[in-house]
A and B are shown apart, each in its own frame.
Chain A
């Protein structure tokens, strides 16, 4: 366990040496949320309700969703694909440590600093728009959301790791990631709540793992979804995590064979 704490510590330290980067990213995030708020405020200037959302709910959806996004997202795929491409992976293969675990803890270390800063900035945004933000204080809902976000964090890491491993076969991972990221964001309700679309989209989003990184927890927060449905969602997440883990194991084994064979 100590070795994993050391990884987290090293990652923290690294982030501290790049404080300007870490902080400037946060400013960009604030802008993004701000633009969305502008857009929806403009749309709601001519109507009060849109597909069951009033302006306050829509703004809460955006602000709360942005908060979750900054918690669950990661850029692990970049590190994994780079390590594979330039052969850094070899350094891990010769050491008594699992690369997957190394990466997961590295990510936890990285996210923890970004987390504190991002959460602070997003909370700051909520504070600015607090007169238009709906506060949900139901413990049960918040607890379920917490579990869901925790699982979404793991799901996102596994997905990213999988995409990174594509580098075993091709050098060009960025395109795949970007495409998948857009699809993910759509089904996650990151562009707009999926309930604005026909019901089938919600069903798809509920089965796919992506919605749990934005849409579903935001729905729960707005109490547009009941606790029982949320619980079903958590089960779907668990199934996905197990599935992704198995796929990772499989892809890793096959990828490594290739890595071993070609010596990239």
Chain B
């Protein structure tokens, strides 16, 4: 019956995609937006680039109100979405570059200079004449970035720029973003699901969950604040261990017969390590490490719920 009703009238439901998001970002900063799917990261980026019109609140980027969509503002920023492409798939990337050159009104000289530099940085000289649909995902993303940077934006919004890329391609894109930010002093806001991206790129992170900011500050501080713990990974030789044998030593995060991960307070990490080494357990290797940042973030989200 419900679906029959839906033929005539569909129920609508509204939800606030973002509600309590307040922050400011200085010129040249590289800031990471973190948060689970649906937290409001992309929505925030869309608002800042003028695609969405908020029901309440305000935002200014470079002194402009984004959703007025003034060309003066549009010529100063770029938005790259990992899941959408602006390049014409059927044409070589070069054609889309030329189209952007005309759209942004870039002079011939400046265009050539920028393009040469970007091609050099990205190392993609050999794929410029290949239709975009024949490129690998990594190559395509490189071209997407070039297309977005031809007009030398002062602000760059990157929404999941490394999504779906293999580890090497991710690293390439990451290195490029890092270098570009350092050399051009372009302000960059990046969202990513990959902790590696955030760890490598961003000094500052803003964590959004349930459409609210729950952390805004240095990444290193975040780790310190939430990670009063270290993790101790112990590998045992082929004899293995039983759970009862190791349980008394501390909180077990992961257990298998041949490998155990303990979580331990920072100050106690060394003691625990030596206690285990001194025991009769068949230890093969011990490794003390910081708790993984994704684990930190996961905990923040959990404690927030």
**Chain A residues near B (Cβ < 8 Å):** 2-3, 5-7, 9-10, 13-14, 17-18, 86-88, 90-91, 93-97, 257, 260-261, 263
A88 CA to B98 CA in the complex, in Å? 19
Contact with A along B51-84 (1 / 0, CB 8 A): 1110100000000000101010011011101001
Partner of B84 from the list A88, A257, A260, A263 (CB cut-off 8 Å) is A88
The 10 A-B pairs with the shortest beta carbon distances in the complex, nearest first, are A3-B102, A96-B71, A260-B53, A6-B102, A91-B86, A96-B74, A90-B51, A14-B90, A94-B49, A6-B99
Docked complex: B81-113 residues within 8 A CB-CB of A: 81, 84, 86, 88, 90-91, 95-96, 98-105
Contact yes or no, B84 A3, CB < 8 A: no
Contact yes or no, B53 A93, CB < 8 A: no
**Chain B residues near A (Cβ < 8 Å):** 17, 43, 46, 49-53, 55, 67, 69, 71, 74-75, 77-79, 81, 84, 86, 88, 90-91, 95-96, 98-105, 131
Contact yes or no, A260 B67, CB < 8 A: yes
Looking at the assembled complex, report how far the CB atom of A261 sits from the nearest CB atom of chain B, in whole angstroms. 7
A97 CA to B151 CA in the complex, in Å? 14
Partner of B53 from the list A3, A86, A95, A257 (CB cut-off 8 Å) is A257
Nearest neighbor of A5 in chain B, beta-carbon distance: B102
Looking at the assembled complex, report how far the CB atom of A89 sits from the nearest CB atom of chain B, in whole angstroms. 9
A17 CA to B131 CA in the complex, in Å? 9
Chain A residues with Cβ below 8 Å from B88 are 10, 14
Looking at the assembled complex, report how far the CB atom of B80 sits from the nearest CB atom of chain A, in whole angstroms. 10
Chain A residues with Cβ below 8 Å from B51 are 90, 93-94, 260, 263
Contact yes or no, B103 A94, CB < 8 A: no
A87 CA to B91 CA in the complex, in Å? 20
Contact yes or no, B79 A10, CB < 8 A: no
A239 CA to B95 CA in the complex, in Å? 38
Looking at the assembled complex, report how far the CB atom of A98 sits from the nearest CB atom of chain B, in whole angstroms. 10
Chain B residues with Cβ below 8 Å from A260 are 51-53, 67
Contact yes or no, A263 B46, CB < 8 A: yes
Contact yes or no, A10 B91, CB < 8 A: yes
A86 CA to B52 CA in the complex, in Å? 15
A263-B52 contact, Cβ under 8 Å, with A18-B90, A96-B74: yes
Q: Quick one: which of A17, A87, A95 has the most chain B CB within 10 A?
A: A95
Interface CB pairs A-B, < 8 A, 15: A2-B102, A3-B99, A3-B105, A5-B102, A13-B95, A86-B84, A90-B46, A90-B84, A95-B103, A96-B74, A96-B75, A260-B53, A260-B67, A263-B43, A263-B52
Contact yes or no, A87 B102, CB < 8 A: no
Chain A residues with Cβ below 8 Å from B69 are 93
A91 CA to B89 CA in the complex, in Å? 14
A17 CA to B89 CA in the complex, in Å? 11
A238 CA to B43 CA in the complex, in Å? 42
Contact yes or no, A96 B103, CB < 8 A: yes
A93 CA to B157 CA in the complex, in Å? 14
Contact yes or no, A14 B50, CB < 8 A: no
Looking at the assembled complex, report how far the CB atom of B151 sits from the nearest CB atom of chain A, in whole angstroms. 9
Looking at the assembled complex, report how far the CB atom of A7 sits from the nearest CB atom of chain B, in whole angstroms. 7
Nearest neighbor of B53 in chain A, beta-carbon distance: A260
Nearest neighbor of B71 in chain A, beta-carbon distance: A96
A90 CA to B101 CA in the complex, in Å? 18
Contact yes or no, B84 A17, CB < 8 A: no
A91 CA to B69 CA in the complex, in Å? 12
A260 CA to B96 CA in the complex, in Å? 26
Chain A residues with Cβ below 8 Å from B102 are 2-3, 5-6
Nearest neighbor of B55 in chain A, beta-carbon distance: A261
Contact yes or no, B99 A17, CB < 8 A: no
Nearest neighbor of A261 in chain B, beta-carbon distance: B53
Chain A residues with Cβ below 8 Å from B78 are 94
Looking at the assembled complex, report how far the CB atom of B86 sits from the nearest CB atom of chain A, in whole angstroms. 4
Chain B residues with Cβ below 8 Å from A97 are 103
Nearest neighbor of A86 in chain B, beta-carbon distance: B84
Q: Knowing that A6-B98, A90-B51 touch, tell me 8 more A-B residue pairs with CB under 8 angstroms.
A: A6-B102, A9-B95, A10-B88, A10-B96, A10-B98, A14-B91, A86-B84, A94-B51
A2 CA to B108 CA in the complex, in Å? 12
A93 CA to B53 CA in the complex, in Å? 12
Chain A residues with Cβ below 8 Å from B75 are 96
Chain B residues with Cβ below 8 Å from A94 are 49-51, 74, 77-79
A178 CA to B86 CA in the complex, in Å? 29
Nearest neighbor of B83 in chain A, beta-carbon distance: A87
A14 CA to B91 CA in the complex, in Å? 6
